[in-house]
Amino acid sequence: MLLVGRLDLSCVGRLRDAVLLASHETTNYVAVEASRVTAVDGVGLRTLIACRRLATALGVQMVIVRPSAPLFTRLASTGLLRTFRVSGRHSTPDRGVPLSSRRAAAGR
């Protein structure tokens, strides 16, 4: 899946639902392509943690692929790089998950 925009309170439900759906569609891992995340706050980080726990509970590993500079910086500064599997490998996501409510409304 491809994340686009701000990772904050406005995206909690959409991101959780996307990870849940992707976890049911695979047996190995969920790749979260994050190169287009423009900003991330504490709620966004907690959402990523919750999504990782959800995937793990379903027997699937969540991998953050190509995190953007803002996301990588937040993961590094909070020590979460040790928690998440982060990969620089290129992903070929089939659909984007718009993060901000404005993007979601515009995409309808």
Q: Which amino acid is at 7?
A: L
Which secondary structure element, helix H or strand E, spans residue 31, and what is its range?
strand 29-40
pTM, 2 dp: 0.78
Q: Are 65 and 87 in contact (CB under 8 A)?
A: yes
> Is 79 strand, coil or helix?
coil
Closest CA to 71 of 56, 61, 86: 86
Q: How many residues does the chain have?
A: 108
Distance, CA of 81 to CA of 92 (rounded, Å):
22
What is the per-residue pLDDT for 26?
81
Angle (nearest 5°) at CA 25 between 5 and 29: 70
Residues of the chain with pLDDT under 70: 89-108
Are 75 and 84 in contact, with CB atoms under 8 Å apart?
Answer: yes
* pLDDT value at residue 16: 93
Give the whole-angstrom CA distance, residue 80 versus residue 23. 21
